[in-house]
Chain A
Amino acid sequence: MIEILQFEFMRNALYAGFLTSIICGIIGTLIVVNRLVFLAGGIAHSAYGGIGMAFFFGLPYMVGAIGFSFVVAMIMAGVSLKAKERADTIVGVLWAVGMASGILLLDLTPGYNVDLMSYLFGSILSVPRSDLITMAAIGVVILFLVSYFFRDLLAMSYDEEFAQIRGMPVKRLYYMLIGMVAVTVVMVVQVVGLILVIALLTIPPSISEKYTKSLAKMMLSSCFLGMVFTTGGLWLSYRYDMTSGAAIIFLASVVFFLSLFLDRVILLFKKNIVL
């Protein structure tokens, strides 16, 4: 088992998994608590438009994808603040338009064509060192913003109106949160793929939410679970020669359903004691 760590790509994959788990644990907790999973999915998929744009105009990937997703994310945030009841429709439309425009732009790009599939499941086994550094830097910025605004974010997530009455800049905080989601998603998509991002943003927090009593503990527990899933998934993929991204997600979902089952058992057990 240890011998696989002598390969640099394996070490980088582990580091990438750790960094992704930390970023996704923090942002994912805020997404789950604020029920923004659908919106995050929309942002992640619309990043395709950004990828297409980057190739079409010959821009660097990061500039195109982050720029595009950021704009789409701000539109979604604006719509969900102004017309809450229409928000899911608008997100759904932008989700589809983003993906379609990405593919069309790639069709129109002459010559070499990218395999968009590689953005779906990513390739955690081929993460270069430079990406790790960018991820670490973004992680530090997110960690700083979230700790600085921690109590504002907590109060806003629990009761937006009360937070607003207490003088917290609820709208700006919301835009900031969505902005952080956009940057996180684009950054991590490149490394581990679209599907894995959504899985890591939602599965560890939704398991942690049931067993933790504070937002900070939920974040910590989500980061830890994410690390367990990425490391365990990597080991599975190495041991049984499976696609790494899919193995990580599969492990995470097994634990997710186990926790649901466990809750049922605990509930039944409690009922029996009462009876």
Chain B
Amino acid sequence: MGEIHPMVEMADLSFSYPGQEVLSAINFTVYSGDFVAIIGPNGGGKTTLVKLIVGLLKPSGGMLRVNGKTPGRGGAVIGYVPQQIKHNDNFPASALDVVLMGRHSPDKRWAFFRGGDDRTAALQALEKMGMEKYAERKITDLSGGQRQRVLIARALVTEPDLLVLDEPTASIDTKGQAVFFNLLKTLNKDLTILVVSHDLLVVSSYAKSIACVNKRLHYHDIVGSTTDLMNAFYACSVEEVCPVETVVRGLNKNTFLDLPRHD
């Protein structure tokens, strides 16, 4: 992956909808090769933060750079895996068609017949996700977890520098989630990964660092020990109302309540 450099930089970043501030004073840098889990309560601005990074929303204030450039200006290729896609139950596309969407770009319009290399790349991406035997299946006939893998294949086929996933395991069962995060861990060898999740305990065993978003952002490097991890979670929950608090307290009141307070 080359030398470590800042992949996403935010300085005093803020975003608000009319009459409602969603994110404020966010200072956060994601370095290349990192595997960041973004956690936080519902409505805390996780998805908004992700949409800012991929360029679907424009910041209201502050600085945001992806690989040194404004999002959407060609700084880095971002592979985006959305939370879920609200399409018809019968959308007419095979899994392969969906992955091929990742190979299309506006300057390829005149090429009426697609080159074989696009197809090869798409099939390879599906293979990487263990989905090659479903290539010709209708996308809507696949299960939630299988569809999620196809969407990741679609993101991978764009040859991204940064993979951004918004709640990717919402439709996968617990066993499937472990497999899924192991897969992300493998992908992390060549890719910077940013994943939004509300499932703290699953995320904690795979992510290298954690950002807690609840209007503000707290960043924690996971050094390795469980105590450090819980510390991060706990600290995050002291200042904001984070779901972490309930999880941690629910797990073991006595151990965690006397942890040192986060600045």
Contacts and interface: CB of A to CB of B under 8 A. Distances in A.
B199 interface: no
B104 A155 contact: yes
Interface in B44-91: 54-56, 72, 78, 80, 82, 85, 87-88, 90-91
B109 interface: yes
Interface stretch (B22-30, B95-103, B214-222, B240-248): B95-103
Nearest to B100: A151
A33 B91 contact: yes
B2 interface: no
A215 B92 contact: yes
A208 to B, nearest CB: 8
Most buried by B among A33, A158, A161: A158
A158 to B, nearest CB: 6
A33 B109 contact: no
B93 A158 contact: yes
A165 B93 contact: no
B105 interface: yes
Interface string A192-235: 00000000000000001110111101100000000000000000
A271 to B, nearest CB: 16
A151 B56 CA distance: 20
B93 A164 contact: no
A215 B94 CA distance: 10
B208 interface: no
A167 interface: yes
B106 interface: yes
Contacts of B55: 164-165
B241 to A, nearest CB: 27
Contact of A166 (B87, B105, B138): B105
A166 B158 contact: yes
A199 to B, nearest CB: 19
Contacts of B94: 213-214
A35 B154 CA distance: 23
Contact of A154 (B90, B97, B109, B136): B97
B112 interface: yes
Contacts of A151: 101, 104, 108-109
A35 B87 CA distance: 9
A33 B92 contact: yes
Contacts of A32: 88
Contacts of B154: 162
Contacts of B92: 33, 208-209, 212-215, 217-218
Contacts of B158: 166
A165 B101 contact: no
Interface size class of A (residues with CB under 8 A): 20 to 34
Contact of A158 (B85, B108, B109, B138): B85
A161 B176 CA distance: 26
Nearest to A169: B106
B82 A161 contact: yes
Contacts of B105: 166-168
Contacts of A161: 56, 80, 82
Contacts of B109: 148-149, 151-152
A126 interface: no
Nearest to B90: A209
A87 to B, nearest CB: 14
Interface in A14-57: 32-33, 35
A214 B88 contact: no
A97 B158 CA distance: 46
Contacts of A168: 104-106
A115 interface: no
Contacts of B82: 159, 161-162
B80 A165 contact: yes
Given A158-B93, A158-B98, A166 B104 contact: yes
Contacts of A134: none
23 contacts: A147-B112, A149-B109, A151-B104, A152-B106, A157-B87, A157-B91, A158-B91, A159-B101, A161-B80, A161-B82, A164-B55, A165-B55, A165-B80, A167-B72, A169-B106, A209-B88, A209-B91, A209-B92, A210-B90, A213-B93, A214-B97, A215-B92, A218-B92
Given A158-B87, A162-B80, A209-B90, 18 more contacts: A32-B88, A33-B88, A147-B112, A148-B109, A151-B109, A161-B82, A162-B82, A165-B54, A165-B78, A166-B102, A167-B72, A168-B105, A169-B106, A209-B88, A209-B91, A213-B93, A213-B97, A214-B93
